[in-house]
C-alpha cells in the first residue's frame, strides 16, 4: 500500500488519497507512548482532563476559523457544526471531570487550566498558530485539520471512549465526561449509534470528495497538511505524563514488568522496575496496576 502522497494515484477521491497519504503518520501517532496511555485509559484522571484542555484550545481555534470561512465552496460542505463541532463538548467534559461549577466557562478558573493558560506548552502554541496562519492565508487547508480531528474522533475515538469510561468510572449511558466522543445522528436529533457514527464518517468523506473534486493540487496540499496535523497531535500527546504504574509486557521474555511511571511520554520511561512475573503472572500484574491507579 502506498504511503507516500507522491506515489498515490491522483485520480483517487480526496478522502482515499488523504487516508493513504497519512497511513504512516497515523501508525506513528497511534503507537506513540502518550497515545497508548490515552487509548488504554491509563492516564490519571487529572492528566486526561489536562489533555482535554489542550484539545479544547485546538477545537476552539479550528472551529472559529472554519466559521470565518463557512461560505468558501470547499469548506461549506464539510462544515456542519451542529454535528461535528467539538469545542463545547470538550468544555463540558472538562467541567465534569474537574468537578467545577456548572456555570458556562467555570472550568477556566480551575488552577490546572489557569496554569495551561498562563504557560501553554510550545506544541499547543505551534498548533494554534498553524491554524491561525491557515485561517489568514490558506483557509481551505483548515479542512485537513478538521479531517484529522473529526474523523479521528469518529474512528479511534470511539474505541478510546470505552476505555476512558471504564478508567474514570463514567456512565456510558448518560455520557457525562464523554461528550468528546458523542455525535448527533445525521438524520435525527438523537445521539448517533455505532452504525450511525459510521454513516457520519461516510457522510464527511463524501462531502470532502465532492468539495475537492478533481483538483489534484488541492488533494496533495490537503494530504501534506493532514500529515502536519498528525505531527501536531503527536506533539500534544508527547506532553502527557504517564500513569503512576504501568504494566508492560516484555515480548520474548514472557514477562510483565511493573514500571513506576510519571515520566513525560516523550522520554523513555525510566525504570524503577520490579520483575513481576514470568508467563502466567498477568493476574498479579493487573492487581498491582489496578491498585496503583486506585480503580
Ligand atoms: C490514540 C490512539 C489511536 C487509536 C487507537 C486510533 C485508532 C484508529 C482506528 C482503529 C481507525 C480506523 C477506524 C475505521 O476503520 O473506521 C482510526 C482512524 C483514524 N484516526 Fe486514529 N487512532 C488513534 C489516534 C489518532 C490520532 C491522534 C489522530 C489524529 C488526530 C487520529 C486520526 C484518525 C483519522 C483521521 C482516522 C480516519 C482515517 C480515514 O479513514 O481516513 N487517530 N484510528
Give the mean model confidence (pLDDT) for residues 206-230. Answer: 98
Read off φ and ψ for residue 13, nearest 5 degrees.
Answer: -60, 155
The reply to whether 21 and 150 lie within a common domain is yes
Least confident of 66-75, 78-87, 108-117, 202-211: 108-117
295 pLDDT exceeds 60? no
User: Higher-confidence residue: 280 or 24?
Assistant: 24
Over residues 179-186, mean pLDDT? 97
Let me know whether 201 and 148 are in one domain: yes
Mutate to test the pocket of ligand 1, among 155, 158, 197, 222 (most ligand atoms within 8 A of CB): 155
Best residue among 16, 48, 156, 192 to mutate for probing ligand 1's pocket (most ligand atoms within 8 Å of CB) is 156
Quick one: 106 and 143 in the same domain?
A: yes
DSSP state at residue 205: H
Same domain? For 104 and 167 the reply is: yes
Residue 240 vs residue 263, higher pLDDT: 240
How many domains does one find in the chain? 2
81 has pLDDT over 80: yes
* Statement: residue 235 has pLDDT above 60: yes
Segment 3-50, tens digit of pLDDT: 456 689 999 999 999 999 999 999 999 999 999 999 999 999 999 999
Domain identity same for 193 and 250: no
pLDDT band at 132 (very low <50, low <70, confident <90, very high): very high
Q: Looking at per-residue confidence, does 101 or 206 come out higher?
A: 206
- Residue 290: pLDDT band (50, 70, 90) is very low
CATH number of residue 121's parent domain:
1.20.910.10
Domain match, 142 and 201 both: yes
Distance 28 CA to ligand 1 centre (A): 11
pLDDT at 250: 65
Q: What is the 3-state secondary structure (H, E, C) of the chain?
A: CCCCHHHCCCCCCHHHHHHHHCHHHHHHHHHCHHHHHHHCCCCCHHHHHHHHHHHHHHHHHHHHHHHHCCCCCCHHHHCCHHHHCCHHHHHHHHHHHHCCCCCCCHHHHCHHHHHHHHCCCHHHHHHHHHHHHHHHHCHHHHHHHHHHHHHHHHCHHHHHHHHHHHHCCCCCCCCCCCHHHCCECCCCCCECCHHHHHHHHHHHHHHHHHHHCCCHHHHHHHHHHHHHHHHHHHHHHHCCECCCEEEEEECCCCEEEEEECCCECCCCCCCCCEEEECCCCHHHHHHHHHHHHCC
Same domain, yes or no: 227 and 88: yes
CA 151–ligand 1 middle distance (angstroms): 7
- 176 and 261 in a single domain? The answer is no
Query: Is there a single domain that holds both residue 125 and residue 211?
Result: yes
Largest Cα–Cα separation, the chain: 61
The partner residues of 258 in beta bridges, in order of sequence, read 247, 274
| Angle at alpha carbon of residue 51, lines to 48 and 57, rounded to 5° | 145
The answer on pLDDT for 92 being more than 90 is yes
- Given a cut of 80, whether residue 280 has pLDDT beyond it is no
Alpha helices in 213-264 (DSSP H): 216-238
Whether pLDDT at 60 is above 60: yes
Structural domain of 271: 245-293
Q: Residue 203: pLDDT above 70?
A: yes
Mean residue pLDDT across the chain: 86
Report how far ligand 1's centroid is from the alpha carbon of 156 (Å): 4
How far is it, in rounded angstroms, from Cα 136 to Cα 138? 6
Check: pTM over 0.75? Answer yes or no.
yes
pLDDT tens digits for 141-169? 999 999 999 999 999 999 999 999 999 99
Pocket test residue of 18, 26, 130, 230 for ligand 1, highest count of atoms within 8 A of CB: 26
Contacts of 284 (CB under 8 A, 6+ apart): 276, 277
Q: Which DSSP category does 150 fall into?
A: I
Counting atoms of ligand 1 from 1, which one is nearest the CA of 38?
Answer: 1
**Does one domain contain both 167 and 276?**
no
Whether residue 116 sits in one domain with residue 233:
yes
Amino acid at each position: 500500500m502506498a504511503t507516500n502522497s507522491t506515489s498515490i494515484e491522483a485520480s483517487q477521491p480526496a478522502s482515499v488519497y488523504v487516508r493513504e497519504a497519512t497511513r504512516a503518520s497515523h501508525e506513528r501517532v497511534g503507537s506513540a507512548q502518550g497515545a497508548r496511555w490515552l487509548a488504554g485509559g491509563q492516564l490519571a484522571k487529572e492528566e486526561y482532563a489536562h489533555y482535554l484542555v489542550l484539545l479544547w484550545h485546538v477545537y476552539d481555534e479550528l472551529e472559529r476559523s472554519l466559521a470565518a470561512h463557512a461560505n468558501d465552496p470547499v469548506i461549506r460542505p464539510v462544515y456542519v457544526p451542529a454535528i461535528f463541532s467539538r469545542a463545547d463538548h470538550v468544555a463540558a467534559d472538562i467541567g465534569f471531570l474537574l468537578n467545577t461549577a456548572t456555570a458556562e466557562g467555570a472550568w477556566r478558573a480551575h488552577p490546572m487550566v489557569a496554569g495551561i493558560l498562563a504557560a501553554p506548552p510550545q506544541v499547543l502554541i505551534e498548533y494554534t498558530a498553524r491554524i491561525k496562519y491557515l485561517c489568514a492565508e490558506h483557509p481551505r487547508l483548515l479542512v485537513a485539520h478538521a479531517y484529522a480531528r473529526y474523523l479521528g474522533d469518529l474512528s479511534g475515538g470511539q474505541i478510546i471512549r470505552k476505555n476512558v469510561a471504564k478508567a474514570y468510572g463514567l456512565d456510558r449511558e448518560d455520557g457525562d465526561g464523554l461528550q468528546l466522543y458523542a455525535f448527533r445522528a445525521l438524520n435525527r436529533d438523537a445521539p448517533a449509534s455505532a452504525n450511525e457514527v459510521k454513516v457520519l464518517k461516510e457522510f464527511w468523506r463524501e462531502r470532502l470528495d465532492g468539495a475537492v473534486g478533481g483538483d489534484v493540487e488541492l488533494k496533495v496540499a490537503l494530504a501534506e497538511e493532514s500529515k502536519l496535523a498528525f505531527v501536531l497531535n503527536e506533539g500534544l500527546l508527547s506532553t502527557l505524563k504517564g500513569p503512576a504504574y504501568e504494566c508492560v509486557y516484555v515480548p520474548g521474555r514472557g514477562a510483565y514488568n511493573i514500571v513506576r511511571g510519571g515520566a513525560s511520554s516523550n522520554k523513555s520511561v525510566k525504570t524503577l522496575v520490579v520483575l513481576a512475573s514470568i508467563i502466567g503472572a498477568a493476574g498479579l500484574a493487573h492487581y498491582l496496576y489496578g491498585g496503583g491507579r486506585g480503580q
